[in-house]
């Protein structure tokens, strides 16, 4: 089972007090940002600070990811050279638009891993789809590297690229969301959704999270700790779902032991895909209860 990625807490990479406390809020991952939240004049301070933070702070079991600067800037090379030395779990690549870009990043990481005795393939990748071109090439991007563990979507930049405004209903990125999920699942990796910018609107956050869960996303980025618990509540299986799943799995086991081909629960015929889904739910429930 993939690791849980229900929530990813964004942190500006140049603020020590936030880097030190990132893991106490209960999110599944943290996303340390070197891109939009760091002014141009401070790109160097941020990357050195983050490298040191990664090497010195014990983040426990949380997945630690770093968003580097986009490939069309000069910064990403120095970012990768510094950050890989801190052994982050994954690097988020903003504005990914082609397989070639991802391969370039992959090669650079490989080189630095080798030069520094880091286990090859250690640092994973999470390409971000934030432009129309990125959406167009999403399949080749998702398959471009064995380091890819998730595809993520950046709603704000995507809307800008499409020449539209972000709305509460997010119809403008609906198709892009679906395509990202499709490509991620085809490549056997996770799909992670964009931020919900209205921090005070918890109900709206929950509604959007329910929608993206339906579409197939495994989690959502977060810009304030208050958003974490509501998102987990949406992703966590309910008591009812867990009970149902337990029933289905035991019925399947019983049928297998008796050598029966057909499984019935509540007088309904249950196909194997449903049994699989039930097993996944129970396994997921176990992880989320930890």
Least distance to another protein, CB of residue 195, Å? 16
For 115, the token pair is 């030069």
Q: Which of residues 12-71 bind another protein (CB under 8 A)?
A: 15-17, 20-21, 24-26, 44-45, 48-49, 51-53, 55-58
Tell whether residue 198 is a contact of another protein (CB under 8 A).
Answer: no
Among 226, 250, 264, 283, the residue binding another protein under the rule CB under 8 A is 226
Q: Which helix (H) or strand (E) holds 52?
A: helix 43-56
Distance CA 168, CA 157 (A): 16
Q: Which residue number, 161 or 201, has a Cβ lying nearer to another protein?
A: 201
Distance CA 98, CA 1 (A): 28
Least distance to another protein, CB of residue 213, Å? 22
Among 12, 216, 225, 230, the residue binding another protein under the rule CB under 8 A is 225
Cα–Cα–Cα angle for 181, 243, 240, rounded to 5 degrees: 65
Least distance to another protein, CB of residue 99, Å? 34
Distance CA 230, CA 3 (A): 19
Q: Under a CB-based contact definition with an 8 Å cutoff, are residues 278 and 234 in contact?
A: no
Least distance to another protein, CB of residue 20, Å? 6
Distance CA 102, CA 83 (A): 17
Q: Give the footprint of another protein on this chain (CB under 8 A).
A: 15-17, 20-21, 24-26, 44-45, 48-49, 51-53, 55-58, 200, 224-226
């Amino acid at each position: 089972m993939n690791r849980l990625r229900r929530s990813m807490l964004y942190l500006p990479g140049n603020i020590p007090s936030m880097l030190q406390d990132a893991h106490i809020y209960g999110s599944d991952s943290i996303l340390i940002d070197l891109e939009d939240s760091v002014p141009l004049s401070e790109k160097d301070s941020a990357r050195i600070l983050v490298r040191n933070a990664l090497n010195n702070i014990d983040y426990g079991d949380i997945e630690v990811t770093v968003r580097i600067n986009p490939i069309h800037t000069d910064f990403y090379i120095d970012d990768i050279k510094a950050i890989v030395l801190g052994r982050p779990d994954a690097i988020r690549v903003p504005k990914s638009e082609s397989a070639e870009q991802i391969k370039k990043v992959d090669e650079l990481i490989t080189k630095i891993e080798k030069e520094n005795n880091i286990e090859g393939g250690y640092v994973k990748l999470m390409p971000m789809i934030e432009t129309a071109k990125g959406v167009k090439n999403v399949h080749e991007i998702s398959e471009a590297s064995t380091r890819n563990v998730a595809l993520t979507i950046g709603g704000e930049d995507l809307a800008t690229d499409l020449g539209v405004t972000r709305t509460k209903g997010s119809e403008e990125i609906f198709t892009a969301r679906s395509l990202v999920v499709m490509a991620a699942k085809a490549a056997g990796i996770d799909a992670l959704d964009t931020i919900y910018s209205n921090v005070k609107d918890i109900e709206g956050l929950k509604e959007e999270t329910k929608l993206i869960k339906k579409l197939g996303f495994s989690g959502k980025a977060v810009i304030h700790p208050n958003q974490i618990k509501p998102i987990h509540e949406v992703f966590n299986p309910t008591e009812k779902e867990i009970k149902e799943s337990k029933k289905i799995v035991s019925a399947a086991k019983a049928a297998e032991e008796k050598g029966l081909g057909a499984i019935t629960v509540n007088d309904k015929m249950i196909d194997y895909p449903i049994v699989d889904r039930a097993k996944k739910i129970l396994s997921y429930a176990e992880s989320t209860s930890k």
